[in-house]
Amino acid sequence: MTDIYSRLVNKGPGRDVAKKLGLPQPAVLRRYEPGQPLINGPVLIEGSSAGADELAAELLTWDVDVRRHAVPREKLGGIVLVLDSLASPVDLEKPVLTVASSLRDLAPNGRVVTVSLTPDGGSPAAAAARQGVDGLLRSLAKELRAGATGNGILLADGVGTTAPTALGALRFFLSGRSAYVDGQFVRVGSTSGKLPADDEKPLAGKVAVVTGAARGIGAAIARTLHRDGATVVAVDIPAAGDHLAAVANDIRGTALQLDISRDDAGPRIIEHAVGRHGRLDILVHNAGITRDKLLVNMDHGRWSSVIGVNIAAQLRINEALLASEHFRSAPRIVSLASTSGIAGNRGQTNYAASKGGVIGMVRATAPLLAEHGGSINAVAPGFIETEMTARMPFATREIARRLNSLQQGGRPQDVAEAIAFLASDSAGGISGEVLRVCGQQLVGA
Ligand code: NAI
């Protein structure tokens, strides 16, 4: 599970050799830790629209040094490029070329964030400009070095640059919580949501259920939600009972031994959360399995078990929660998809069908949760250093690990941070979306 190569080329003689030979030198990513400043260095806000001015005024109330013009050779923690008033693609040139030279001054682990309008509206020229931001940002992210990332915030009609979730997403992208999110957009579809009273405990007072919490990504999610203030119910199969109890005890939560593919899984989850903790606010569908085989050799067992656990169980549990009066106060669901479900993966037709299914499920469930001020989203991890990926053959693993803009695998913690953000009220305006945590994987979609 450790990336020995990354450690070798980041210090001592290994670093010099790698430099001489032109080998990849993955940066040490600045990951979030409680107490850490939001960002290391001043943030330049580029853009001359009213939305840019309002955003700059808002950032001044945060603990951030804001610049409206670049100061030559001053190291920058981040650049926010506000492009919310584009009428045509020619309007891109001035703001984009104005920040271009500042990219040289971006500190290691720096951040570039675009704020623009969703491309599904406006005249053909405006839509071309808005869609142009997509290509621009994704290319720029591939040019950044030293752990720096580029991500974008898309504002739907009627959502301003200082809407609660626009600000929540900006904080997420500027911070170390998004260390392994690169080249991605989040779409803020509404003005719902609110920023937390305490940035270090955004989930204070919430009760969260995490499935598949005995190990891997699920255990990291449970620990992260607890760190952020939630009371956590850790769910896993009875066979994983010892590990499950260890995780639950560690985070002062409770353990529920349950196979999520059972018909009564939904009611059992509600009964446990409400019975033991008095409420249920957040459900994270993390439990998942792989049974890889080329389609030509696929059989009933492999196909049905993967569909059964990875998507059919989630649909059944959601149905129970949606029908329950205990899941009505700004409820949040976050589900684990996978980049395999977006780009496809050889040997994973069953898995990719289930994970593609998760994406369709969150899109169609979003309006149902909106009735209760709730949201549902998916997180699609790329190559994450877990027991599952440690079992891959060495060469395949080494290639998969490097083929992204950050030239390294992500950690379970990186996935957990994205989930904690989407489970918080500061992301309340994002629903029905998929956020990839993949370091901007270079192959596939
Ligand atoms: P893992 O195999 O290490 O852990 C999965 C957990 O789910 C285990 O504790 C297992 O006992 C539990 N589980 C399985 N079936 C269950 C059932 N029927 N009921 C209750 N619990 C059950 O997996 P990992 O790597 O931590 O993955 C977690 C999620 O992230 C999965 O949905 C996986 O598909 C997804 N994912 C993982 C990636 C990676 O690189 N590791 C990449 C993309 C997605």
Split at pLDDT 50, 70, 90, the class of 17 is low
Q: How confident is the model at residue 21 (pLDDT cuts 50, 70, 90)?
A: low
pLDDT of res. 393: 85
Q: Rounded to two decimals, what is the model's pTM?
A: 0.96
293 pLDDT above the threshold of 60: yes
Q: What rounded mean pLDDT belongs to the chain?
A: 95
Confidence of residue 305 (pLDDT cuts 50, 70, 90): very high
Confidence at 390, pLDDT banded by 50, 70, 90: confident
Q: What is the pLDDT of residue 6?
A: 74
Q: Is 311 in the pocket of ligand 1 (CB under 6 A)?
A: no
Atom number in ligand 1 closest to CA 355? 34
> Which pLDDT belongs to residue 13?
73
287 CB less than 6 Å from ligand 1? yes
Is there an atom of ligand 1 within 6 Å of 316 CB?
no
Whether 180 is a known active-site residue: answer no
Long-range interactions of 303-309: CB distance < 8 A, separation 24+? 303/350, 306/350, 306/351, 306/353, 306/354, 307/350, 307/353, 307/354, 307/357, 308/261, 309/260, 309/261, 309/354
pLDDT bracket for residue 143 (50, 70, 90) = very high
- Provide, rounded to the nearest whole percent, the portion of the chain with pLDDT above 90: 88
For 43, 45, 67, 149, 176, the CA distances from 111, given in Å and listed in that order, are 9, 12, 14, 5, 10
pLDDT above 70: residue 433:
yes
Ligand 1 center to 148 CA (angstroms): 29
**pLDDT score for 1:** 54
Contact 345/353 with Cβ under 8 angstroms? Answer: no
The per-residue pLDDT for range 94-124, each reduced to its tens digit, is 999 999 989 999 999 999 999 999 999 889 9
- Is residue 40 helix, strand or coil? coil
Which ligand 1 atom lies nearest to the CA of residue 336? 32
Ligand 1 contact via 386 beta carbon (within 6 Å): yes
Closest among 150, 82, 71, 59 to 110, alpha carbons compared: 150
Confidence of residue 30 (pLDDT cuts 50, 70, 90): very high
**207-437 under CATH 3.20.20.140, yes or no:** no
Q: What is the pLDDT of residue 400?
A: 86
Query: What's the confidence (pLDDT) of residue 366?
Result: 98
With a 6 Å cutoff on the Cβ, whether 389 touches ligand 1 is yes
Intrachain domains 40-188 and 207-437 with the same fold:
yes
Quote the ligand 1 centre to 286 CA distance (angstroms). Answer: 6
Quote the pLDDT of residue 18: 64
Residues β-bridged to residue 378: 335, 434
Coil, helix or strand for 235?
A: strand
Q: Which residue has the higher pLDDT, 390 or 318?
A: 318
With residue 284 as reference, give the H or E element that holds it: strand 282-285
Judge whether residue 385 has pLDDT over 70.
yes
Query: Cα of 219 to ligand 1 centre, how many Å?
Result: 10
CA of 236 to the centre of ligand 1 (A): 10
CA torsion angle for 214, 215, 217, 219 (degrees, to 10)? Answer: 50
- Atom 6 of ligand 1, residue of closest alpha carbon: 212
Q: Is 165 in the pocket of ligand 1 (CB under 6 A)?
A: no
Q: Is the CB of 237 under 6 A from ligand 1?
A: yes
Residue 78 β-bridge partners: 43, 111
pLDDT mean over 224-252: 98
pLDDT number for residue 129? 98
Average confidence (pLDDT) over 147-154: 98
- Single out the residue of 333, 328, 334 nearest to residue 373, CA to CA: 328
Domain 40-188 has CATH 3.40.50.300: no
Q: What is the pLDDT of residue 3?
A: 74
Q: Counting atoms of ligand 1 from 1, which one is nearest the CA of 287?
A: 7
Lowest mean pLDDT among 30-34, 120-124, 355-359, 369-373: 120-124
d(CA 30, CA 94): 31
Q: Where are the domains of the chain?
A: 40-188, 207-437
Burial of residue 179 (CB within 10 Å: 0-12, 13-18, 19+) is buried
> Is residue 444 pLDDT above 60, yes or no?
no
Report CA(386)–ligand 1 centroid distance (Å): 10
Q: Where is pLDDT greater, at 18 or 151?
A: 151
Q: CA 221, 225, 228, 230: dihedral to nearest 10 degrees?
A: -170
The H or E element that residue 99 is part of is: helix 93-100
Q: What is the Rg, in whole angstroms, of the alpha carbon atoms belonging to the chain?
A: 22
Q: Where are the alpha helices (DSSP H) in 102-210?
A: 124-143, 164-174
pLDDT digits (tens, 9 = 90+) for 44-65: 999 999 999 999 999 999 989 9
**pLDDT tens, 155-182?**
999 999 999 999 999 999 999 999 999 9
- The confidence score (pLDDT) of residue 376 equals 98
